[in-house]
Structure 1
Amino acid sequence: MKTLLVLGAGGHGKSVAEAALLGGEWQRVWFLDDSYPERTMSLGCEIVGCVAALAEFADQAQGAIAAVGNNEVRAQWCDAIEAVGLELVNVFHPQSIVSPSAKLGRGIAVMAGAVVGTEAVLARGALVNANATVDHDARLDAFAHLGVGVQIAGGVVVGAHAWLQAGASCGYHVVVPEGARIGPSIGLSA
């Protein structure tokens, strides 16, 4: 039975866990989340400890992924996963489309309905949320984050740690600076 450690049991963590289980490569998910021990279950899967307890579970899992939307925290957690000798894995929802010519780093999550196009590049820890599109030849640098429904056209470059929030879009060959936070094209902010 292959066990995946998912760091983070919040909304994104649950989505990543569900995608992993639906994909069939993983038969069991254990969460590490700082709500432990007050919370011990999420999505019907055990929360087995806090994120700081990662090393205690390194020999009991075959891979791990950092499943949190905050780019800086995701980067720290990816480093921690590799520091304890666990494989940093990718999770692709079975209803996503990832081109076989795409170039992929480690620790990537591609969620339901997302499309990663021809020769797109997703660097380490990139996050492509539900129904987002990374068109041909586009690039997400390390820990870039596309929110739900974000559309980036061919040749777009999204800098490291940049966050395009739900509904944002970029036309051809736009360059989003490192660390930028781009709001939605239309909508109300919280």
Structure 2
Amino acid sequence: MYLYGASGHGKVVLEIAEENGYNIEGFIDEDISKIMLLNYTVTHSVPLYAIDVVITIGNNKIRKKIVNGNPLFNYMTLIHPKTTVSKRVKIGEGTVVMPGCKINSEVNVGKHCIINTNASVDHDCAIEDFVHISPGASLAGAVSVGEGTHIGIGAVVIQGVNIGKWCTIGAGAVIIRDVLDGATVVGNPGRVIKMNESKYDQ
């Protein structure tokens, strides 16, 4: 397995892969100044053949760009053993679930998502591809989160709320109503402070 992205996020994902007993070949990163990370070699060229990969970059747009540009990769899913994940949860390829997370019954998590440390996702939530749910964020039951959205650290979303595509939910925000595509929302209660005009054309 290769980890694509030699950064702080990569360190955490590396340890999840180690905990799961994977044979890790090293990191891939375009930054030629990066040579080693946690005693693993960093290579700067992308292999042009099929390899097992987890993208270890927190930026949702960059993860999608890498996936679109590397159709030969076999994307692995990593779940830290110290999580609570219902047997009725569906998790897509390339997604990483960090330690301490709780994901309850009938949740669907898309591809290449990050469910970060101690995040909580309750029953019947639907999380689309390339979403990042930050540490300590909490989603109540039946919340939907559109593609590419970033839920900030410690944010809270009440039950039944629909959050659109490529939104940014600020740290500690409390979301009590639906959020349109491309919105940046902050505060308690959450208020829109910016709309991305291009929305989700990434």
TM class by shorter chain equals 0.7 to 0.9
- Structure number with greater Rg is 2
Determine the structure 1 residue equivalent to 2:58. 69
What residue number does 2:92 align with?
105
Say whether the 8 Å CA contact 1:65–1:78 is kept in structure 2: no
C-alpha offsets along residues 98-141 of structure 1, whole Å, 9 cap, x if unaligned?
22211121110101111221110101111100000111111111
Identity %: 28
Q: Which residue of the partner structure matches residue 131 of structure 1?
A: 118
Matched residue SS, 1:94 = coil
- Partner of residue 55, structure 1: 47
TM-score (ref. length: structure 1): 0.85
Structure 1 counterpart of 2:23: 27
In the TM superposition, residue 183 of structure 1 has moved relative to its aligned partner by 0.6
Point out the structure with the larger helix share.
1
2: CA distance between counterparts of 1:146 and 1:118? Answer: 18
User: How far off is 1:67 after superposition?
Assistant: 1.2
Unaligned runs of 5+ in 1: none
Contact 2:6–2:34 under 8 Å retained in 1: no
Say which of 84, 99, 102 aligns to 1:115. Answer: 102
Aligned length: 173
Amino acid at match of 2:36: M
Once the two structures are superposed, residues 42-70 of structure 1 have per-residue CA deviations (whole angstroms, 9 ceiling, x without a partner) of 12211122xxx2224x45x4x10111111
1:160 pairs with 2:157? no
Q: Secondary structure at the match of 1:54?
A: coil
**What secondary structure sits across from 1:13 in the alignment?**
helix
Q: Distance in 2 between matches of 1:139 and 1:30?
A: 32
Q: 2:67 aligns to what?
A: 78
Coordinate RMSD, CA, aligned? 1.5
Query: What one-letter code is carried by the residue in structure 1 that aligns with 2:171?
Result: P
